[in-house]
Amino acid sequence: MNANVSQRTALPEEDVPPDSSPGFGGKKAVLSGPVSRSNPNEQQPLRRSVSFNASQVSRNEPNEIQPGEASKKFLQQFFPGVPLSDWNNWKWQLRNSFTSLGQLSQIIALSGAEKQVLLSQGTYLPFRLTPYYASLLSDPHYGSAIRKAMIPTIHELDIADGEHSDPLNEEASSPVPHLVHRYPDRVLFLATGFCSAYCRYCTRTHMVAKEKVHFNRSWEPALQYIREHKEIRDVLISGGDPLTMPDRMLEQLLTELRAIPHVEILRIGTKVPVVLPQRITPQLTGMLKQFHPLMISIHFMHSVELTPETSEACIRLADAGMPLGSQTVLLKGINDDIDIMKKLMQGLLKIRVRPYYLYQCDPIPGSAEFRIPVQKGLEIIHGLRGFTSGYAVPHYVIDAPGGGGKIPLLPEYVQGWENGNIILKNYEGKIFFYPDAG
Ligand code: SF4
């Protein structure tokens, strides 16, 4: 692993992701025949006393996000001798991420289905966890949720009917590389393919972790497309995870986009505050707030993620003036429960994140173990609406396979019309009549 670090840092730091997981540089996954996969199975030593060249890591930044008790315990147990200031440094977190199940097996006992991945030819996505996020695996109540969402099992290789590597057909809606233009007035800008942790249910399995570098050297056609299309007033920067890019690279992109007169709002889609909260430095928030209106959509999965570190990261972003929204994927055996979902949504409001979207899991290859019946999703929404603050109720949507866009799903509150009245069912199941106009 240290050899990887020295090879990587021989290149300009701004040009490469801070670490290279085994899947980087892999070919695109295919759905039939031999699959080109990442290898989360290489046996690599866990760096208990991490020895890397300090000159390869930027200096610790002031106002570090302070670790919670779980982080401190994990650090002492698995990285003895590593100072807190390193743990609090986002680049240290990236460079010391777990990128193989062999490494991970030194901190948890792998299950049979996880061990079988060690014997397989790999998975569609590489495996990657920051040490911070790995520390949540030891949560006595909900560590299993993180485990199921982030650690590959052999079941990931079972392809069910209707599953595709690009279920939303984004490639067909991509007029130039790294840009998806599906809706009339907004575009998705895929700034990088790198994430600091790879979710096993990722919609963009078809493009994340496929190239070794961030995409900054090939952004220009996408920028030019936006300049030439005056109807585009909203740009969502996503990937991969844009907040894994260095400040200067992200600032360059935001500057280019802000210079386009018809672009009114900018958005960033990220999971970094959840898996790498140390990234949310004062330097980053100070840079981001130059580009208002700038909104942040944060990918949350479970209330176990609402740690002191993530809370601080979100509050920093909110204090810098960015409206924060959440995106959550409904996942079988992880968050498909009214109480779990309510706890997450209420917890998000406490750290100033407005629940925004609840997604039905997209049918990517191997996702059958994550997908639940839509009826269950409707029951969860029914269990939230009226039973908690309206602000805590996200929009439940299916992103239509093939590229139809987001389609909202609601329980049947409208029961019909009768004698000029609309018949309504409230959250308790009671029937009411409203005199409809006209
Ligand atoms: S953070 Fe987002 S883009 Fe990255 S692996 Fe997870 S779902 Fe995919």
Q: How far apart are CA 65 and CA 91, in angstroms?
A: 13
Q: Which atom of ligand 1 is nearest to the CA of 208?
A: 3
Residue 37 annotated in active site? no
Q: Is the dihedral of CA 241, 247, 253, 255 positive or negative?
A: positive
Instruction: Evaluate whether 30 touches 36 at the Cβ level (below 8 Å).
Output: yes
pLDDT score at 425: 96
Domain interval for residue 95: 13-36+60-157
Residue where a domain stops, chosen among 157, 189, 216: 157
Residue 396 annotated in active site? no
Residue 199 annotated in active site? yes
Examine the domain organization and report whether 376 and 324 are in the same domain.
Answer: yes
Residue 190 lies in a domain: yes
Instruction: Beginning with the edge strand found earlier in the chain, give each strand of the sheet holding 395-400 in spatial order.
Output: 179-183, 186-190, 234-238, 265-270, 294-299, 324-329, 353-359, 395-400, 405-408
Residue 210 annotated in active site? no
Residue 399 annotated in active site? yes
Q: How far apart are CA 285 and CA 267, in angstroms?
A: 14
Examine the domain organization and report whether 360 and 250 are in the same domain.
Answer: yes
Examine the domain organization and report whether 305 and 362 are in the same domain.
Answer: yes
Residue 345 lies in a domain: yes
Residue 1 lies in a domain: no
Residue 406 annotated in active site? yes
**Number of residues assigned to the chain:** 438
Examine the domain organization and report whether 317 and 354 are in the same domain.
Answer: yes
Residue 336 lies in a domain: yes
Examine the domain organization and report whether 249 and 331 are in the same domain.
Answer: yes
Ligand 1: residues within 6 Å at CB? 195, 198-199, 202, 204, 208, 239-241, 271, 299
The SS3 call for residue 391 is: helix
Examine the domain organization and report whether 431 and 297 are in the same domain.
Answer: no
pLDDT score at 31: 23
Structure token digits, residue 312: 């601080």
Q: State in Å: Cα 412 to ligand 1 middle.
A: 32
Residue where a domain stops, chosen among 157, 186, 207: 157
Instruction: Evaluate whether 346 touches 313 at the Cβ level (below 8 Å).
Output: no
Examine the domain organization and report whether 103 and 248 are in the same domain.
Answer: no
Pocket probe mutation, ligand 1, options 97, 170, 207, 208, max atoms within 8 Å of Cβ: 208
Q: State in Å: Cα 120 to ligand 1 middle.
A: 23
Q: What is the pLDDT along the chain (438 residues), one digit of tens a residue?
A: 332 322 222 233 444 454 443 333 222 222 222 234 556 555 544 443 333 233 333 444 558 999 999 999 999 999 999 999 999 999 999 999 999 999 999 999 999 999 998 888 778 889 999 999 999 998 888 899 999 999 999 999 999 999 988 999 998 999 999 999 999 999 999 999 999 999 999 999 889 998 878 999 999 999 999 999 999 999 999 999 999 999 999 999 999 999 999 999 999 999 999 999 999 999 999 999 999 999 999 999 999 999 999 999 999 999 999 999 999 999 999 999 999 999 999 999 999 999 999 999 999 999 999 999 999 999 999 999 999 999 999 999 999 999 999 999 999 999 999 999 999 999 999 999 999 997
What are the residue ranges of helices labelled H in 229-325? 247-258, 272-275, 282-288, 308-319
Residue 146 lies in a domain: yes
Catalytic pick among 115, 212, 406, 425: 406
Examine the domain organization and report whether 184 and 98 are in the same domain.
Answer: no
Q: State in Å: Cα 420 to ligand 1 middle.
A: 48
pLDDT score at 119: 82
Q: State in Å: Cα 195 to ligand 1 middle.
A: 6
Q: Which atom of ligand 1 is nearest to the CA of 239?
A: 3
Structure token digits, residue 402: 């093939």
Residue 363 lies in a domain: yes
Q: How far apart are CA 186 and CA 49, in angstroms?
A: 47
Examine the domain organization and report whether 237 and 353 are in the same domain.
Answer: yes
Count of the separate structural domains present in the chain: 3
Q: Which atom of ligand 1 is nearest to the CA of 198?
A: 5
Pocket probe mutation, ligand 1, options 190, 299, 362, max atoms within 8 Å of Cβ: 299
Examine the domain organization and report whether 206 and 269 are in the same domain.
Answer: yes
Examine the domain organization and report whether 280 and 377 are in the same domain.
Answer: yes
Q: How far apart are CA 306 and CA 326, in angstroms?
A: 12
Q: What is the CATH number of the domain that holds 321?
A: 3.20.20.70
Residue nearest to atom 7 of ligand 1 (CA): 202
Residue 316 annotated in active site? no
Residue 41 lies in a domain: no
Q: State in Å: Cα 422 to ligand 1 middle.
A: 42
CB atoms within 10 A of CB 33: 6
Residue 195 annotated in active site? yes
Residue 305 lies in a domain: yes
Residue nearest to atom 8 of ligand 1 (CA): 202
Examine the domain organization and report whether 141 and 241 are in the same domain.
Answer: no
